[in-house]
Amino acid sequence: MSGGFPEVRPRRLRSSAAMRRLVAETTLEPRQLILPMFVREGAGEPIAIKSMPGVVQHTRDTARKAIAEAAQLGLGGVMLFGVPEVKDEVGSGALDPDGILNVAIRDAVSEVGDELLVMSDLCIDEFTSHGHCGVLDSEGRVDNDATLKIYAEMGVAQASAGAHVVGPSGMMDGQVGAVRTALDAAGHLDTVILAYSVKYASAFFGPFREAVGSSLQGDRKTYQEDGANAREALREVDLDVAEGADIVMVKPALAYLDIIRQVRDHVDVPVAAYNISGEYAMVEAAAANGWIDRDRAVLETLTSIRRAGADTILTYWAADAVHLLNHR
C-alpha cells in the first residue's frame, strides 16, 4: 500500500448505474409484489378512493381487466377485498357463494387460472354493520370463538370459489387452526394460508376504511396488537405456524420494519409484509405537493421493506412499481 489516504474507496462500487446494479444486495422484482384490489358490488363504473389517489373500488369488469394486467406484468398475485351493498350483524355476505367477494374470486380465477395467484382476504369486517372483524356478544365485545366458526366457513367458501390463497386477517386467537382444519376436511388440502400473524392496531389504516366502506364503531385494540410490543409478535407467529400457516405476514410495514426483520430471522416459512393504505397515502400526498420525488420514493419504500426481510410485499403500487423498475 502506498500509505496515502484514503486507501479504501467504497465509492468505486457506486460509480455507475451498471455497477450499482451488479452489487445491489436487495432485489425488488415483480414476482415479489402482490396487488390488493377492492371490488364493489353493484358498481357500474370504478369509484375513486379520495384518500388513496390512483386506487379505486373496481366493478367486476374492471377488476377482471386489472387482474389480467397483473398477470401480464408478472406480479406474484392479487389480494381481493369485497365491498358489499348490504351488511348485517354477523357478516353473512362473507359466506354467500354469490356474495361479492366469492364472485370476485371466481371472476379472477376464470380470467387468469393458475397464471397468477388469486388471494382473498378472510375477515368479516367489510360485511358487518358494526365494522368489527368478528361477531359481537351480548355486551358488544368481539366473540372470539363464535367468530372462528364463521372464519372456518368463509375459508371453505373462498377455496370453493377458487382462491389459491386465503388470508385470515382478523387476529382472532386460533383462526389459522380453525381455517386449516375446515379446509382440509372439505378437501382443500392445497389451499395456502397466508396468516396475518402480526397485525398492529395502527393509525395508518385510515384510508383503508374509506376503501372498504367501513362501518367501524369503536376500535380494534382488543384483538389487533399493541404497537409497543415486539416479543408478542413472535409469539403470535409461532402460534400461527404451529396451527398450519404457510406464510406469515406483518402489517403495517414501514413503522414495523424492525418486526419484519425479527420475524424473518425467527421463522423458516415465507414472510410477507403489507405496505398499507396510510403509507401509500402519505407518499402520494407529499408527491402531489411537490415535496418529494414520487417514483423514487415508491421504489425506496418497497426496497426498504424487502431489505428488512419481507419475501413478498402487498402494495397498492405493485403495478406501478413494475413500470418504474422497467424504466429506471
The catalytic residue positions are 199, 251
Instruction: Read off the amino acid at residue 142.
Output: V
Ranges of beta strands (E only) in 200-309 are 247-251, 271-275
Instruction: Please tell me whether the peptide bond between 252 and the residue prior to it is cis, using omega within 30 degrees of 0.
Output: yes
The neighbour count for residue 300, using CB atoms within 10 Å, is 13
CB 142 within 8 A of CB 133: yes
Q: Which helix (H) or strand (E) holds 283?
A: helix 277-288
User: What are the backbone dihedrals phi and psi of residue 80, each rounded to the nearest 5 degrees, phi first?
Assistant: -95, 135
Burial (Cβ within 10 Å: 0-12, 13-18, ≥19) of residue 233: buried
Nearest to 240 by CA among 177, 185, 306: 177
Burial (Cβ within 10 Å: 0-12, 13-18, ≥19) of residue 92: middle
